[in-house]
Structures are given as structure tokens and as C-alpha cells.
């Protein structure tokens, strides 16, 4: 678990509940659609994968034990991955 400190003076860790409340306040005042910290994590991973970032890198950023876990969770979000892969290999093998 990652611990975030609230200041050098006290050295006390910020509790998850405090972080959640603070995040909720930011979301509410910013006018963005309702979003949780977990939802933000999901959006982060989805955007990275859609932009073609290597699943191993995404897996490491999320703290997953392996890229397989990441792909099991997020592959449903990217239904066109197989088509993109086929087009990429076609382009690579096409006569020049």
C-alpha cells in the first residue's frame, strides 16, 4: 500500500477516507461527471491502452502482478484491438 504523508510537521499518513472526500469535493466543484478514484484509475488505464502503450507498462503503472491481469480486466474496453493488430501486420508485410 502506498502511504501519502500530510506534512513533514506531523508525519501522519493521510487516510483513504480523507483522500476520497477531498477527491469527491474536487469532482463536485469542477463540474465533471461523477467520478471516483477507482474510476479515474480505470480511465487512466483505458486511455493508455487506447494510445498503444505497451500493456506491460500499463500493468506496472497499475501495480498489477502481470500484464495478463491488466489485459483480462481492460481488454473488453478495446474490442478493436484484434482488428488493429491485423491491420498493423498487413501494413508491415505489404510489398513496398
CB 58 within 8 A of CB 45: yes
pLDDT at 11: 64
C-alpha 28, offset from chain centre:
21
CB 67 within 8 A of CB 61: no
The owner of cell 500484464 is 67
pLDDT (average), residues 8-18: 69
Regarding whether 84 and 57 lie in a shared domain, the answer is yes
pLDDT at 63: 95
pLDDT tens for 37-96 read 899 999 999 999 988 899 999 999 999 999 999 999 988 777 787 788 889 899 999 987
User: Which of 31, 29, 26, 63 has the alpha carbon at shortest distance from 44?
Assistant: 63
Regarding whether 13 and 27 lie in a shared domain, the answer is yes
Regarding whether 78 and 62 lie in a shared domain, the answer is yes
Q: Which domain holds residue 68?
A: 36-93
Regarding whether 46 and 3 lie in a shared domain, the answer is no
User: pTM of the entire structure?
Assistant: 0.65
Regarding whether 83 and 48 lie in a shared domain, the answer is yes
Regarding whether 87 and 43 lie in a shared domain, the answer is yes
Amino acid at each position: 500500500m502506498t502511504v501519502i504523508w500530510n506534512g513533514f510537521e506531523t508525519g501522519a499518513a493521510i487516510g483513504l477516507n480523507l483522500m476520497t472526500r477531498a477527491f469527491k469535493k474536487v469532482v463536485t466543484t469542477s463540474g465533471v461527471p461523477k467520478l471516483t478514484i477507482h474510476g479515474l484509475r480505470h480511465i487512466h488505464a483505458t486511455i493508455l491502452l487506447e494510445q498503444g502503450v505497451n500493456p506491460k507498462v500499463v500493468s506496472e503503472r497499475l501495480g498489477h502482478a502481470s500484464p495478463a491481469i491488466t489485459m483480462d480486466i481492460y481488454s473488453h474496453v478495446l474490442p478493436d484491438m484484434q482488428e488493429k493488430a491485423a491491420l498493423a501486420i498487413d501494413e508491415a508485410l505489404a510489398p513496398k
